[in-house]
Amino acid sequence: MSIVCGIPLLECVYCLACARWAWKRCLHTAGHDSETWGLSTAEEFEPVPRLCRYILAVYEEDLHHPLWEPAGGYEINPDWLILKKTYEDTRGCAPPYILYLDHNHADIVLAIRGLNLAKESDYAVLLDNKLGQRKFDGGYVHNGLLKAAGCVLDAECDVLRELVEKYPNYTLTFTGHSLGSGVAALLTMVVVHNRDKLANIDRKRIRCYAIAPARLGACPEE
């Protein structure tokens, strides 16, 4: 009798524990991850508005004849655009992106667009992950985003190497929004760990600006 009576109690405890976990996960935001970070300086923040415009430019089919440019335009010279990759070009392994040679700011910029709610391939990248599935540099990272970053680097490695060699005083910036920022962040990490693929580029030249990124991973203790 006591065992039978105890079963509903155990079920209630289990349900409450699951509900507590789900509630905490729903309330967990990026603000919790960054609450101990220091504030950026004006100099560090200066490129952000410009890079946001570059990310928005990825959505355009033809930058010579833009359809959705914001007030003030994209601040892009279409003649300095090195390449533009679509979903067809990436075959869905990564979101579309552009590679832009920003002579005005001495910067080589690879900008990746955000999640496309109408593209199954974007969801496939986002959902390609399991807890503890992919280890990287002593921690765990998002498997799908890391694979997407690898696809981009494999596709553009030769072009990036030529550019960093041709313009030794230019920075190399990876940026993106939402899903694209997750890819950009992990792409930056992969490049930093494989600088020999880009002519041993100086670590200080490599930058990343991730706008509203997905959570990329966790340390082992988490």
pLDDT tens per residue across span 117-138: 999 999 999 998 887 788 887 8
Average pLDDT, the chain: 88
Cα 48 to chain centroid distance, Å, stands at 15
For the cut 90, the answer to whether the pLDDT of residue 11 exceeds it is: no
Digit-coded pLDDT (tens) for 84-94: 999 999 999 99
Q: How far is CA 39 from CA 19, 34, 89, 147, in A?
A: 35, 10, 38, 31
Q: What is the DSSP string of 17-60?
A: HHHHHHHHHHH--HHHHHTTSPPPPHHHHTHHHHHHHHHHHTT-
- 164: which DSSP letter? H
Residue with tokens 């990746």: 112
What is the pTM for the complete model shown? 0.83
Q: Buried b / exposed e across 11-20, counting CB within 10 Å, b at 16+?
A: eeeeeeeeee
Which is more confidently placed, 25 or 153?
A: 153
Mean pLDDT of 13-31: 63
Superfamily, domain 39-218: Alpha/Beta hydrolase fold, catalytic domain (3.40.50.1820)
Q: Specify the range with the lowest mean pLDDT, choosing from 10-14, 75-79, 164-168.
A: 10-14
State the residue for tokens 């994209």: 74
